[in-house]
């Protein structure tokens, strides 16, 4: 997280009131009680969201993989915003292969989330949120460290290909007309200049 954001967090009332002397179990209570949307800073005053404050708290606490697994799985099943917080934290702190392995199962989680940005609230979904964390450079007022793509890691044999819960994707996709693009030999040089 960038310094200005961190400063806004520690200056915020929510931080002072709700994030003092909080342990890993308290985090769950705080999320359940106060996190009603995901997001970074919002509004004209760029107020940090409870979500972001608690993410910052997690950065200080540095929970182990086991604790994260609890947040993600059991806790996350019950409380979607707890899962959202945990996936965000994993994205910030774990190495690329682990990020993919931890996060991808939740591309199946279609639950709704409210996302609050500077301009207002909008609907998003857990799977969309996770996908954005895997593919975007910036989320929730936080620059995400540059991760190698999944394909890269597959090439290096650090990851097995992901199997979508939809099963045999070939059939689903191949039913759409394939694009014919120049065919072989033209190598993207579609322009005809003789």
Residues that bind another protein (CB under 8 A): 13-14, 34, 36-37, 49-50, 80, 107, 110-114, 120-123, 125, 127-128, 131, 149-151, 164-166, 169, 172-173, 187-188, 191, 193
Do the beta carbons of residue 152 and residue 75 sit within 8 Å? no
Angle at 31 between CA 120 and CA 69, to 5 degrees: 115
Cβ at position 147, least distance to another protein in Å: 14
Cβ at position 123, least distance to another protein in Å: 5
Nearest to 142 by CA among 74, 18, 56, 21: 56
Cβ at position 173, least distance to another protein in Å: 6
Nearer to another protein, 66 or 193 (CB): 193
Cβ at position 21, least distance to another protein in Å: 18
Q: What share of the chain is helix, strand, coil (3-state, %, to 5)?
A: 50, 10, 40
Put residue 48 in one of left, alpha, beta given phi > 0 → left and psi -120 to 50 → alpha.
beta
Nearer to another protein, 86 or 113 (CB): 113
Nearer to another protein, 2 or 151 (CB): 151
């Amino acid at each position: 997280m960038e310094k200005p954001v961190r400063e806004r967090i520690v200056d915020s009332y929510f931080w002072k009131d709700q994030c003092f002397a909080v342990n890993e179990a308290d985090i769950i209570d705080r999320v359940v009680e106060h996190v009603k949307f995901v997001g970074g800073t919002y509004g004209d005053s760029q107020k940090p969201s409870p979500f972001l404050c608690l993410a910052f708290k997690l950065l200080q606490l540095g929970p182990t993989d086991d604790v994260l697994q609890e947040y993600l799985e059991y806790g996350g099943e019950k409380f979607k915003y707890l899962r959202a917080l945990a996936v965000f934290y994993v994205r910030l702190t774990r190495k690329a292969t682990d990020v993919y392995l931890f996060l991808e199962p939740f591309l199946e989680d279609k639950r709704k989330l409210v996302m609050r940005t500077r301009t207002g609230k909008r609907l998003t979904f857990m799977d969309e949120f996770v996908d954005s964390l895997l593919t975007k450079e910036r989320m929730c007022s936080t620059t995400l460290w540059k991760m190698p793509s999944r394909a890269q890691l597959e090439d290096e044999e650090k990851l097995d290909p992901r199997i979508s819960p939809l099963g045999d994707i070939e059939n689903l996709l191949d039913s759409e007309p394939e694009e014919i693009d120049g065919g072989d030999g033209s190598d993207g040089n579609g322009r005809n200049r003789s």
